[in-house]
Structure 1
Amino acid sequence: MTDGPQDVRGDDPEFVTPPEPPAPVVRRRGRRVTTDPVPGTDPAPAPVDRRRDSYDNDARLRADKPPHWG
């Protein structure tokens, strides 16, 4: 019995075992792309009142209808 596969070509100098391919490198990346800020922008912008802005956007979306909707 043998412990593993044997080289059938034995001592043949013409036979060279090919090198094993390198193991693939898996890099964990974030899900989002980060970019540098545009030059001239404020690095710490003032907070936005979300309640007022969302209502403005809702009204704009409701008013925006295709021309064929009448």
Structure 2
Amino acid sequence: MTRGGATSGDDTPGVVEAAEQRPLVVRRRAGRRVTTDPVPGSDPTPAPEPPRQGSGENDQRLRADVPPHWG
């Protein structure tokens, strides 16, 4: 007799039902990105972006920008 839980008709210990073995199927979705037409009047060859800031360029301002109670 087992304690707690439901029991099945077959109480043979160590027996596990075998699950049906099927190969794992991985489905990849293609074409999830949407492309749109450019807005009328937009420049087909836009100017390049300006260079990014250096990593330490804003450090002094960030160090000075502290709450008043930090003294």
Pairwise same-fold verdict (TM > 0.5):
no
Richer in helix (by share): 1
TM-score when normalising by structure 2:
0.29
TM-score when normalising by structure 1:
0.30
